[in-house]
């Protein structure tokens, strides 16, 4: 097996282990973050009903000429847009689901921006 395959399997094992323990409700939905090679996706999920409450991605901000979608600036913009949408819907608390990604870089920036906007998790 290659190095990237081992890394991918390790991430999936971490994701399954953590996902057993966290659960989103109506009052405290789960914020699921996903990184592709090009974009960042964020969903706010109510697991009791199985519905996505809010969706945001970096695809909109990268269509215009500007910073790369892998930059921390794009993650910061995504966090601000997501925080605005959460405030509009009256959501003040959530559970963070990193999907097995380490808590640094773009994931950490999104979390810190949400915390600075008053979202509790």
Q: What local confidence, expressed as pLDDT, does residue 1 receive?
A: 52
Portion of the chain with pLDDT greater than 70, in percent? 89
Does residue 16 belong to any structural domain of this protein? Answer: yes
pLDDT tens profile 1-50: 556 678 888 888 888 888 888 888 889 999 999 998 889 999 999 999 99
Does residue 121 belong to any structural domain of this protein? Answer: no
Does residue 69 belong to any structural domain of this protein? Answer: yes
Alpha helices in the chain (DSSP H): 3-19, 59-62, 72-89, 106-116
pLDDT value at 63 more than 80: no
Q: What local confidence, expressed as pLDDT, does residue 108 receive?
A: 96
Angle at 39 between CA 71 and CA 82, to 5 degrees: 85
Q: What is the mean pLDDT of the chain?
A: 88
CATH of the domain at 73: 3.30.420.100
- 8 token code pair: 């991918």
Q: Answer yes or no: are the C-beta atoms of 97 and 32 closer than 8 Å.
A: yes
Q: What domain range is 87 assigned to?
A: 3-116
Q: What local confidence, expressed as pLDDT, does residue 4 receive?
A: 67
């Amino acid at each position: 097996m290659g190095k990237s395959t081992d890394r991918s399997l390790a991430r999936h094992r971490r994701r399954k282990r953590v996902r057993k323990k966290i659960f989103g409700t109506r009052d405290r939905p789960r914020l699921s973050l996903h990184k592709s090679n090009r974009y960042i996706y964020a969903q706010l999920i109510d697991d009791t009903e199985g519905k996505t409450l809010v969706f945001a991605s970096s695809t909109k901000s990268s269509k215009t000429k500007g910073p790369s979608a892998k930059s921390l600036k794009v993650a910061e913009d995504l966090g601000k847009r997501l925080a605005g949408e959460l405030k509009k819907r009256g959501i003040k608390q959530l559970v963070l689901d990193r999907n097995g990604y380490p808590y640094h870089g773009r994931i950490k920036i999104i979390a810190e921006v949400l915390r600075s906007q008053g979202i509790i998790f």
